[in-house]
Structure 1
Amino acid sequence: MEWFRLSLQLNNFPINGAEKLLQQIQEIPEQKYREYLERQRDSILKFHIENNEFYRQFCPTKNCKNWKDVPVMKKSDLQQPLQNRLSEGYSNRKTTYVGKTSGSSGQPFIFAKDRFAHALSWAGFSNRYLWHGIDLNKSLQARFYGIPLDFYGNIQERVKDRISLRRRFNIFNLSDEKMETFLRRFKKTKFEYINGYTSAILLFARFLKNKNITLKDICPSLRVCIVTSERLFENDKILMEESFGIPVLNEYGASEVGLIAFENTEEEWIVNSEDLFVEILDEQNNILPPGEEGRVVITSLYNKAHPLIRYDIGDTGILSEDSSHKHPKLQKLIGRTNDIAHLADGKVVPGLTFYYVTKTIITDTGNIKEFVITQTAMDSLKIEYVSEDNFAENQIQKITAAIQTYVGKDLKVDFERKNMLKRSKSGKLKQFTSLI
């Protein structure tokens, strides 16, 4: 039974037609691929100008004759009632799929995709997973995600899990006792892959390391681990691969546009160029060449229900210099543009700097499970951590000294030990947040 395909068909998503189109796109030769991308991006732009009142006001025809003049959309532009943003003919659930972003960027909004575009997104995921021997119709997934806590939402999600060959590991409780139950499930179930939020899976990997257990030894059917939604650091990837005994892959996507990039067997991040058009722009919205860092801006090439054209996803990244139109490669995903600390002396510091500074020292302590950093004022930081013991004075001094060396002087740092860190409603753990 092809459970993945059946679940989409039962929900009126035309997966067969989507897979056929995906194959046709993939058969376009490299020398004609630029023409395909430009034709399809111009087509979806024309469609929304003609059929979407919201987009006509956002992008008046006279100002959108050349692609470089098409305005960049931000999430703030879309935070208005969904009905105001839908295209003609896509105003009900029969023709559209409606979803909501997680809000991990601080700017959640409700979006819509027409049913064919949504099916095409899933066809892309299915295609990429096959690169690593994972068949969504047959392979059983160990799913490290959150789950709705209301009765109907919870039941609905669990039914979807059953149909979609997913077995959920609830990440809202990540105590050692809960990890033991996770381990027992792996011992008795033939999971083929792990999928979920990086921070939760990393915590499970650390639990296994402390017990000197390699997961594949007790669950030989495991093939790969796919992490998503939160950044994966190289040292963490090494730890996870050692603890699991399988490759760990990066998946980069967003609910409103689908799959953006996926790691292939050569450890390259291949950008989705089939149903997305991905650009890297500077602060003045100029298109940057491969090799230069800028904002990740995405056009959904087939979504007729809702315009997502030159949509600023909120991340910064770099395309590899050996990218082509058909096979763009993501050289580096740097992180969210709003994860930046502004200090009292005028210095601007990427939030990832704090992660690197503290992680090296915290790992040395041996008993630290997780931590988050919050900028509470221009000169103040708060570090919350989960640990068996409070930081010793010499540990606090080391962390404070490292922050002064790599971030800035005269910063006040408060430490607070927690039994559990607060996650978002979806279960994500945001490791740096600025409240400024």
Structure 2
Amino acid sequence: MLKLFDLTLQINGFPMKEAKAELQKILAIPEENFEDFIEQKKREIVNFHLKNNPFYKELAQTASFQNWNDLPILNKQNLQKPLKERLSLGCTEKAVYLNKTSGSSGHPFIFAKDKFCHALTWASNIYRFGWYGIDFNSSYQARFYGIPLDFIGKRKERFKDFLSHRYRFPVFDLSDEILEKFLQKFKTKKFDYINGYTSSIVLFAKFLQQKNIVLKTICPTLKVCMVTSEMLFEKDKLLLEKQFGIPIVNEYGASELDLIAFQNPNGEWQVNSETLFVEILDENNQVVPNGTSGRVVITSLFNKAHPFIRYEIGDIGILDEKSTPKIPILKKLIGRTNDVAILPSGKKSPGLTFYYVTKSIIEDDGNVKEFVIKQTKIDSFEIDYISEKELDSVQIQKIKEAIDLYLEPNLNFHFTRKSVLERTNRGKLKQFTSFLQRK
């Protein structure tokens, strides 16, 4: 069979063969030598950026690497400056992989990966999905994600879906009529797996529960469901297992990094130790013992285009006591949940819809530093933001148009520029919160 997925990546300049070979070499390193491999990679990536990245050299305040624990903790505010000021020497925006973070933590920014690093990200994805018999070249994916609603953006995304052998269920409207249409697709298409935003997939499972339907009975080809981007609560996991009739796999990742942890067939959340180095730190930036909660801080061991060294992702987590350098296990992730917005028409939209809306205020000049959105009434929302300059009427109009498109018209939005935003008791910004009374 033609390996269209691999071929597409290769044509776009991502060296997949080399990346897969590199990953196999890393996987073959025995446990007793793995710590040495990690130490070597940490040293290599820090030295590379101290030498080739003026942004990182200035941040680190040193010309040579001495002690890992003396290196600064990089946070999302540090990265809110034009990308060209953060790229390594010799890298141009045209020659690297570029993307925007979702802003789900309230800190949007544009990032870059060199082509080999991004190919390695895909090799890592392919390897982990392979644990469940999923092959990106041949397995058919039911994808619960957003989609750009402008004509060209939508066409591009649909074409990518075709090349990636997936069918997309847009998650902006999850009313019962739409979920009924989703259900009909499962009756006619031979899906191998489901992948997408946790809250959307949970809403679909609740819909199936009302109708007393187990998805596997109407779509027998289904093997597994991978949920991502939002926390999966235990009661929701049980609901998904019951209504889908297939294993539910919990994925934890960040677009600017890679898959961070992926549930292995033993039910453990196995941390990606091949391309990342994950630390759990206390408020004084000291590593906490395994079994203790702390801030999740991650180093990308291969990204030469842009430094992600001791990068604080904005989550709190616990590594399991039985973790080893080669197989660290994430015992628990605390935080990372998203509310669902209920709109006057009865439409339900996951909080992540605001990722698509807020993209319209993310500009590479780094003007908007942070934002949070609150639903105060069924038709009223408040957007609090921190920026260097106040949003002007043109920008506000642009946001309102995006809201009309992605949510629905006639919603009231009130914009307030603030000097500081309130945080959760764990110090995390929650991008979307609903204050409506839940049934």
Q: What TM-score, normalized by structure 1, do the two folds share?
A: 0.78
AA aligned to 2:106 is G
How do residues 195-344 of structure 1 correspond to structure 2 at under 5 angstroms? 195-336=195-336
On the 8 A contact 1:371/1:385 being kept in 2, the answer is no
SS at match of 1:61: coil
Q: How far did residue 11 of structure 1 move?
A: 1.1
Match of 1:193 in 2: 193
1:193/1:224 contact within 8 Å kept = yes
State the number of aligned residues.
360
Shift >4 Å, 4+ stretches? 367-372, 381-386, 429-434
Aligned to 1:149: 149
Q: Distance in 2 between matches of 1:204 and 1:75?
A: 33
**1:26-425 matched pairs, under 5 angstroms:** 26-61=27-62, 64-94=65-95, 96-336=96-336
Amino acid at match of 1:42: R
Q: Deviations over 1:186-222 (max 9, x none)?
A: 1110000000000100000000110011100010000
Describe the shift of the 1:83–1:194 C-alpha distance in structure 2 as closer, same or farther (beyond 3 A). Answer: same
Question: Do the aligned residues in 1 keep the contact of 2:175 with 2:348 (CA within 8 Å)?
Answer: no
Q: Within 1, Cα distance between the matches of 2:121 and 2:375?
A: 39
Q: Give the deviation of 1:368 after TM superposition.
A: 12
| 1:15 and 2:23 matched | no
| CA–CA separation in structure 2 for the residues paired with 1:11 and 1:383 | 45
Instruction: Report the CA distance between 1:98 and its aligned residue.
Output: 0.4
| Deviation of 1:147 (Å) | 0.6
Q: In 2, Cα distance between the equivalents of 1:105 and 1:61?
A: 30
| Compared CA separation, residues 197 and 335, structure 1 to 2 (3 A) | same
RMSD across aligned positions (CA): 2.5
Cα pair 2:294 2:316 within 8 Å, conserved = yes
Deviation at 1:156, TM superposition (A): 1.0
> What 5-or-longer segments of structure 1 have no aligned partner?
340-351, 356-366, 373-380, 387-418, 423-428
Shift of 1:371: 9.1
Aligned in 2, Cα 1:175/1:323: closer, same or farther, shift over 3 Å? same
Give the corresponding residue for 2:426: none
SS of alignment partner, residue 261 of structure 2: strand
Q: CA deviation at 1:312?
A: 0.2
Residue 80 of structure 1: how far off its partner (Å): 0.2
- The secondary structure found in structure 2 opposite 1:297 is strand
For the Cα contact (< 8 Å) 2:174–2:348, is it kept in 1? no
Identity %: 55
Does the aligned pair in 2 maintain the 1:144–1:168 contact within 8 Å? yes
Q: Do the aligned residues in 2 keep the contact of 1:224 with 1:248 (CA within 8 Å)? A: yes
Q: Tell me the secondary structure at the aligned position of residue 112 of structure 1.
A: strand
Instruction: Report the alpha carbon displacement of residue 382 of structure 1 after superposing the two structures with TM.
Output: 7.2
* TM-score (norm: length of structure 2): 0.78
- Counterpart-to-counterpart distance in 2, 1:369 and 1:173: 6
List runs of 5+ in structure 2 lacking aligned partners: 340-345, 352-373, 380-406, 412-429
Letter of the aligned partner of 1:245 in structure 2?
G
Q: Is the 8 A contact 1:369 1:385 kept in 2?
A: no
Tell me the SS of whatever aligns to 1:317. strand
Aligned with 2:40: secondary structure? Answer: helix
CA displacement, residues 34-70 of structure 1 (integer Å, 9 cap, x when unaligned) = 0000100110000000001111111122584200000
Q: Secondary structure at the match of 2:335?
A: strand
Aligned partner of residue 314 in structure 1, secondary structure: strand
Paired residues of 1:113 and 1:305 also in contact (CA < 8 A): yes
Relative to 1, partners in 2 of residues 1:45 and 1:433: Cα closer, same or farther, differing over 3 Å? farther
Q: CA deviation at 1:383?
A: 7.5
Residue range with higher mean Cα deviation, 58-67 or 229-238: 58-67
Q: Distance in 2 between matches of 1:80 and 1:151?
A: 30
What whole-Å deviation, never above 9, does each CA across 1:379-426 have from its counterpart, x for those lacking one? xx978789xxxxxxxxxxxxxxxxxxxxxxxxxxxxxxxx99x9xxxx
Bigger Cα displacement from structure 2, 138-147 vs 57-66: 57-66
